[in-house]
A and B are shown apart, each in its own frame.
Chain A
Amino acid sequence: MAAIDYSEKIPNNVNLASDRTLQRALEHWQPNYLKWWSEMGPDGSTDFDVYLRTAVSVDPSGWAHFDHVKMPDYRWGIFLTPTDADRAIHFGEHLGEPAWQDVPGEHRANLRRIIVTQGDTEPASVEQQRHLGLTCPSQYDLRNLFQVNVEEGRHLWAMVYLLHRYFGRDGREEAEALLERRSGDANNPRILGAFNEKTPDWLSFFMFTYFTDRDGKFQLCALAESGFDPLARTTKFMLTEEAHHMFVGESGVSRIIQRTCDAMHELATDDVAKLRAAGVIDLPTIQRYLNFHFSVTIDLFGADQSSNAATFYSAGLKGRFEEGKRADDHRLHGQTYKVLEIADGRLGEREVPMLNALNEVLRDDYIKDSIGGVNRWNKVIEKAGIPFRLAVPHKAFNRKIGTLANARVSPDGRVVSEAEWNAHVRDWLPTAEDRAFVASLMGRVVAPGKFANWIAPPLAGINKQPVDFAYVRFN
């Protein structure tokens, strides 16, 4: 059951061979996927042997198998956590009924939309990151980038399997469209805004994997509660991989901060110009990048009041984060939740029906989780004895979606005038000069054990290998 059949063209633990029609459909999609990978996957990397983690089975001891492989030969496949025959829907109007093994007709359109939206983010981020390998700060980081990329590719496979298996012709067409949209393409963009932004440098990449992949974690957690069992089992296994992406982000930013703090000590200065001249990224710039990525990412949770969110929940399609650990009635009728609003030029709170505010509930859970890591970054600064602290900006800062869209709110949560916004936006969001400076630091470092000047080495290597291990063989 848990063993993955690698002798098949498409590795899987879903007994694909027993469904010839599905198998053929996926085998037809596979070359298109590989074509997409060669066109839009990591630039110029086809020949590298990369020290990658590949699942050899879905049980804990087998899903992290390390070896050097060429990325186009990575065994992308379809892995679901084992089925639990007694699993029941545990929230919404179907509470207590057996989980669905097939798509209920009345929820077909909504489920397809959820799966397509999730699936679209996976190839999008690979496209956003495709040129980063050319400016990697070390072999270790290059390997981590590639690991993230192949796993995003596998997550696309996971969603495409669901589309093919459960949504017939519509599903197959959606699966093709996932390979046709392009991040940042004005004519055929990716579905969600943050996935059309550029990831131009490694600070952006680390911020993206910290903040935006964490959005992925929360969406996947909510879908892992779904009454549609194949979706729940698929996303559950994806979560184990997603954790690695957040590790790359959290440790990446942490190492940049470490290096900056070291340089501040060496030079005995907090002068931005001097630090930039020394080739490290000053802490205020890191704060501005943080502000940008945080605010763009919390938009991904959608409008603060959403009847769709209520429908998804009540229908049992998408739960809350850790739904199973919550002690309420799991139906939420008559319950309320506070959302932000601007009234009389001031930020205030308003109680609304909780069912309509479930996007906001998930967003707030996300924010709490994000702050944890930012506090751990602050530990690095604190340890260095530097009187500076990073902080996530106010939830209303720089929003583009929902009630707060385009409101002028400062990072500390004051409603400000257009004039004040314009006077300070340079202090709050990365400027063109900031981005140009960070871009100027990006040079390729690939000698084993060597790191670019702006980032500290990691505390430990991957899979207990030494930091100077040959994580990528360039051939």
Chain B
Amino acid sequence: MTPDIAPDVLRQHLIDPEICIRCNTCEETCPIDAITHDDRNYVVDPGKCDSCNVCLAPCPTGAIDNWRQVARASAYTIAQQLAWDALPPPQAVDAATPADIPQEVARITAVATAGQGGAAAPPWSAAHPYVNLHTLAKPAVATVSGNFRLTDDGASSDIRHIVLDFGSTAFPVLEGQTIGIVPPGTDAHGRPHFVRLYSIASPRDGERPRYNNVALTVKRVTEDHAGKAVRGVASNYLCDLEKGATVHVVGPFGTSFLMPNHPGSSLLMICTGTGSAPMRAMTERRRRRIALKEGGQLMLFFGARAPEELPYFGPLMKLPRDFIDINFAFSRVPGQPKQYVQDVIRTRGADVVRLLRDEQCYVYVCGLKGMEDGVTEAFRDACRAHGLDWDALLPAMRAHGRYHLETY
């Protein structure tokens, strides 16, 4: 969890004089003229810079991307920075540098990854993710280009597939990343609503290939975890959006729950409900690249109450069996015993363990908090039954970016 940033602490933007080549690109790019230079250095004015980050991507060296937490009263002045040959050592207040993301997002992420002991390393071949390009202070504006109900009309849950188009705004995403939605208006106390995070359900090249859009899988929240009636502010806002409406979006976020890109890598995916969003994104990424014959296997465990409540059930059933090995678990089908994902994992134990042993296989778990323990137990049982020690395997998998868990 991110420590609070006290108001008298400044996250100061600095340029590394040892790496900078004085090309002037940042000064040219800065929309508010916060960057200046002399014959020696390029520097950032702490009184002007509003951390909009527009200068980061165009910098050819990476020298621009340096941040120091300093006591506001002792921020490095322009004159001090102009005299540097190298960045100074961090000040004491710098010891606990927080991540580069808003506190709310850090808090949600900390909760979501608690089950695996915090964020894990990404796969070695993951593409480099862009993070926090659009901030709460300057959110991107997206247009709703589609909003479809995924679940049957008779189903108890209303899960929707919502497509957001970014037009000419750059919003590069990777499968497994999340974006933040800021509902308009204020809460009962007159404060702005909290940002809500949603996993993207579309691959990096767009819901429609080469379009600048992303898809979300959103369940209309009408009750809390305990079953008490409650109206989810963000989910109802999203589910009620009409085509053409505009939405404020922040992000993207997430540097860990990312898919491998190297040929021959396999995915073992376990999800329930809207936890299917990142799995759909990854599966679709792989599907679009089938012709490249890159190898590797896909195995999916997908839990829901009943087939008609399962988002993307139809499209999933159309995928070739030799492309993806799909295993459903339904807990509320009349006349059938309740089945959960952990039950099906045990049934398919031999194949699951084969994939767990395979160093090219990466595991993704996403869904409600409640599934965490069940899935872990099922892995432990399956491993035991096939001569593998889950508790020894897990730390190694995490260290190699092979185990990713996100629950809410």
Residues of A near B133 (CB, < 8 A) are: 61
Least distance between A140 CB and chain B CB atoms (Å) = 13
Q: Are A459 and B60 in contact (CB under 8 A)?
A: no
**B62: which of A65, A250, A372, A463 is its contact (CB, 8 Å)?**
A463
Assess whether A326 is interfacial by the CB under 8 Å rule.
Answer: no
29 CB-based A-B contacts, threshold 8 Å: A3-B168, A6-B210, A56-B170, A57-B170, A59-B169, A60-B29, A60-B54, A61-B54, A61-B133, A62-B170, A64-B57, A66-B127, A217-B23, A240-B58, A243-B24, A243-B60, A246-B21, A246-B23, A246-B60, A247-B21, A250-B21, A251-B19, A369-B22, A459-B18, A460-B61, A460-B62, A462-B62, A464-B62, A465-B128
Residues of A near B55 (CB, < 8 A) are: 60
**A373: which of B21, B62, B85, B128 is its contact (CB, 8 Å)?**
B21
Assess whether B172 is interfacial by the CB under 8 Å rule.
Answer: yes
In the complex, chain A residues 1-57 whose Cβ is within 8 Å of any chain B Cβ: 1-3, 6-7, 56-57
Least distance between B264 CB and chain A CB atoms (Å) = 12
Q: Are A247 and B60 in contact (CB under 8 A)?
A: yes
Interface centre among A59, A247, A250, A373 (most CB of B within 10 A): A247
Residues of A near B212 (CB, < 8 A) are: 3
**A 207-225 to B, binary, CB cutoff 8 A, 1 in contact else 0:** 0000000000100000000
State A146–B21 Cα separation when bound (angstroms).
20
Least distance between A349 CB and chain B CB atoms (Å) = 23
Least distance between B158 CB and chain A CB atoms (Å) = 33
Residues of B near A217 (CB, < 8 A) are: 23
Q: Are B21 and A251 in contact (CB under 8 A)?
A: yes
In the complex, chain B residues 112-154 whose Cβ is within 8 Å of any chain A Cβ: 125, 127-128, 133
Least distance between B293 CB and chain A CB atoms (Å) = 13
Assess whether A244 is interfacial by the CB under 8 Å rule.
Answer: yes
Assess whether B39 is interfacial by the CB under 8 Å rule.
Answer: yes
Interface centre among B21, B24, B62 (most CB of A within 10 A): B21
Assess A463 versus B128: contact at CB under 8 Å? Given A60-B29, A61-B133. Answer: yes
In the complex, chain B residues 54-106 whose Cβ is within 8 Å of any chain A Cβ: 54-55, 57-58, 60-62, 65, 85
* Interface of A toward B, CB cutoff 8 Å: 1-3, 6-7, 56-57, 59-68, 217, 239-240, 243-244, 246-247, 250-251, 369, 372-373, 379, 459-460, 462-465, 470
State A23–B55 Cα separation when bound (angstroms).
33
Assess A63 versus B57: contact at CB under 8 Å? Given A1-B168, A463-B62, A464-B65. Answer: yes
**B58: which of A63, A369, A459 is its contact (CB, 8 Å)?**
A63
Assess whether B167 is interfacial by the CB under 8 Å rule.
Answer: yes
Assess whether B347 is interfacial by the CB under 8 Å rule.
Answer: no
Assess whether B156 is interfacial by the CB under 8 Å rule.
Answer: no
**B19: which of A2, A459, A470 is its contact (CB, 8 Å)?**
A459
Q: Which residue of B lies closest to A244 (CB)?
A: B60
Q: Which residue of B lies closest to A245 (CB)?
A: B60
The 5 closest A-B pairs by CB, nearest first: A62-B170, A243-B23, A3-B168, A244-B60, A64-B57
In the complex, chain B residues 152-168 whose Cβ is within 8 Å of any chain A Cβ: 167-168
Q: With A60-B57, A373-B21 given, name 20 new contacts (CB 8 A).
A: A1-B168, A3-B167, A56-B170, A57-B170, A59-B168, A60-B55, A60-B58, A61-B169, A61-B170, A63-B57, A64-B58, A65-B172, A240-B25, A243-B21, A243-B23, A246-B21, A247-B61, A250-B21, A251-B21, A464-B62
State A213–B53 Cα separation when bound (angstroms).
27
**B 295-311 to A, binary, CB cutoff 8 A, 1 in contact else 0:** 00000000000000000
**A57: which of B19, B58, B60, B168 is its contact (CB, 8 Å)?**
B168
**B 349-363 to A, binary, CB cutoff 8 A, 1 in contact else 0:** 000000000000000
State A455–B25 Cα separation when bound (angstroms).
27
State A67–B285 Cα separation when bound (angstroms).
15
Q: Are B25 and A372 in contact (CB under 8 A)?
A: no
Interface centre among A57, A64, A68, A470 (most CB of B within 10 A): A64
Q: Are A56 and B128 in contact (CB under 8 A)?
A: no
Least distance between A446 CB and chain B CB atoms (Å) = 17
Residues of B near A465 (CB, < 8 A) are: 128
Least distance between B128 CB and chain A CB atoms (Å) = 6
**B25: which of A61, A67, A243, A464 is its contact (CB, 8 Å)?**
A243
Residues of A near B62 (CB, < 8 A) are: 460, 462-464
Residues of B near A246 (CB, < 8 A) are: 21, 23, 60
Least distance between B228 CB and chain A CB atoms (Å) = 42
Least distance between B213 CB and chain A CB atoms (Å) = 12
Q: Which residue of A lies closest to B39 (CB)?
A: A372
Residues of B near A67 (CB, < 8 A) are: 127
**B23: which of A61, A64, A247, A463 is its contact (CB, 8 Å)?**
A247
Least distance between A55 CB and chain B CB atoms (Å) = 10
State A372–B127 Cα separation when bound (angstroms).
36
Residues of A near B57 (CB, < 8 A) are: 60-64
Q: Are A2 and B168 in contact (CB under 8 A)?
A: yes
Least distance between B121 CB and chain A CB atoms (Å) = 12
Residues of A near B85 (CB, < 8 A) are: 379
Residues of A near B25 (CB, < 8 A) are: 239-240, 243
Q: Which residue of A lies closest to B23 (CB)?
A: A243
**A460: which of B19, B170, B261 is its contact (CB, 8 Å)?**
B19
State A251–B62 Cα separation when bound (angstroms).
12
Residues of A near B18 (CB, < 8 A) are: 459
Q: Are B60 and A464 in contact (CB under 8 A)?
A: no
State A313–B24 Cα separation when bound (angstroms).
24
State A59–B53 Cα separation when bound (angstroms).
12
State A212–B341 Cα separation when bound (angstroms).
63
Q: Which residue of B lies closest to A241 (CB)?
A: B60
Residues of A near B60 (CB, < 8 A) are: 243-244, 246-247
Least distance between A373 CB and chain B CB atoms (Å) = 7
Residues of B near A57 (CB, < 8 A) are: 168, 170
Residues of A near B23 (CB, < 8 A) are: 217, 243, 246-247
